[in-house]
């Protein structure tokens, strides 16, 4: 059985703390410079440069040079999905980065999963959309209903299904271990949540922080967000 693609190369890239921290920082979806990533990973610029070259060669990162800055982004949603999947396994095995700190609950409550909402809020949102009859759950397969299409339009989400990306997709949440909503609709809803000022992303983290009125509006639309998901 020495066939098929070589998982080792990719996994080894993800297996180093410095590189994993860089990639985690990019899970927010935004582009960061080499220097910012070096600081994020807690290493010098030289070391970071080496890591970034490896990640780029491995197809996990995309580099765009602008002036004297090198901007990096994840090479695609695939990368983010694979990392989330690994996070699920890690969480189940109880592998935490550190002793859970004060900001960890915030991460579990609402965070960005590359381009859509995850955590308690993300799971609650999908639950609401299903119970409201806006998304149909055919034994784990999600489909947008006519009512859901109307809701998306009213909410201001553009559903142009450009490319082959599915409209609705279930994405397994590592903190709640249930599905939240990904796909075009998931990304569009989060974008609108930002635009409406309901929430903003905390700089340098994946945490999505709701304002007090924003949370009220969110819960009015999608129902209450349960408080505790941590064990």
Q: Which residues bind a second copy (CB under 8 A)?
A: 1-17, 20-21, 24-25, 40, 58-60, 78-79, 81-83, 85-98, 101, 103-104, 107, 136, 138-144, 161, 164-169, 174-175, 183, 204-207
Stretch that binds DNA, among 27-35, 79-87, 146-154, 167-175 (CB under 7 A): 27-35
Among 12, 57, 150, 196, binds DNA (CB under 7 A): 12
d(Cα 102, Cα 207) in Å, to the nearest integer?
Answer: 12
- Closest by alpha carbon to 221, among 136, 137, 142, 154? 154
Which of 128, 11, 140, 146 lies closest to 79, judged by CA?
11
CB 160 within 8 A of CB 154: no
Q: Does the footprint of DNA cover residue 33 (CB under 7 A)?
A: yes
98 binds, among DNA, a second copy, none (CB under 5 to 8 A by kind): a second copy
* 153, interface contact from DNA, a second copy, none, CB < 5-8 Å by kind: none
Residue 203 to residue 209: CA distance in whole angstroms: 10
Whole-number Å distance between alpha carbons of 124 and 162: 27
Task: Name the one range near DNA by CB under 7 A: 51-59, 135-143, 147-155, 184-192.
Answer: 51-59
Q: Which does 197 bind (CB under 5 to 8 A by kind): a second copy, DNA, none?
A: none
| C-alpha radius of gyration, the chain, whole number | 18
Interface residue with DNA, options 26, 27, 43, 123 (CB under 7 A): 43
The verdict on 99 binding DNA (CB under 7 A) reads: no
| Site membership for DNA, residue 34 (CB under 7 A) | yes
**Which residues are within 8 A (CB) of 197 and not within 5 positions of it... i.e. 6 or more apart?**
211, 214
Q: If binding is defined by CB under 7 A, does position 51 make contact with DNA?
A: yes
153 binds DNA, rule: CB under 7 A: no
**Signed CA dihedral, 208, 212, 213, 218: sign only:** positive
Q: How far is the CB of 229 from a second copy (least distance, A)?
A: 13
By C-alpha distance, which of 15, 142, 85, 103 is closest to 111? Answer: 103
CB 206 within 8 A of CB 29: no
Question: Footprint of DNA on this chain (CB under 7 A)?
Answer: 12, 16-18, 33-35, 38, 43-54, 63, 67-70
């Amino acid at each position: 059985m020495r066939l098929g693609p070589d998982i080792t190369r990719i996994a080894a890239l993800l297996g180093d703390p410095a590189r994993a921290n860089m990639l985690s920082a990019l899970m927010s979806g935004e582009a960061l410079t080499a220097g910012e990533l070096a600081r994020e990973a807690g290493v010098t610029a030289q070391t970071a440069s080496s890591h970034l070259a490896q990640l780029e060669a491995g197809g996990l990162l995309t580099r765009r040079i602008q002036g004297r800055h090198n901007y990096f982004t994840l090479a695609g949603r695939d990368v983010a999905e694979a990392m989330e999947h690994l996070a699920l396994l890690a969480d189940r095995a109880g592998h935490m980065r550190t002793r859970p700190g004060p900001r960890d609950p915030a991460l579990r409550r609402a965070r960005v999963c590359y381009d859509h909402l995850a955590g308690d809020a993300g799971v609650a949102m999908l639950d609401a959309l299903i119970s409201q009859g806006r998304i149909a759950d055919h034994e784990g397969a999600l489909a947008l209903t006519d009512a859901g299409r109307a809701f998306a339009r009213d909410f201001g989400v553009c559903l142009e299904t450009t490319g082959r990306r599915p409209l609705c997709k279930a994405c397994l949440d590592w903190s709640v271990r249930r599905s939240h909503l990904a796909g075009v609709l998931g990304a569009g809803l989060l974008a609108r949540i930002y635009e409406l000022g309901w929430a903003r992303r905390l700089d340098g983290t994946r945490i999505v922080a709701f304002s007090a009125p924003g949370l009220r509006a969110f819960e009015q639309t999608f129902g209450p967000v349960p408080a505790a998901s941590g064990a």
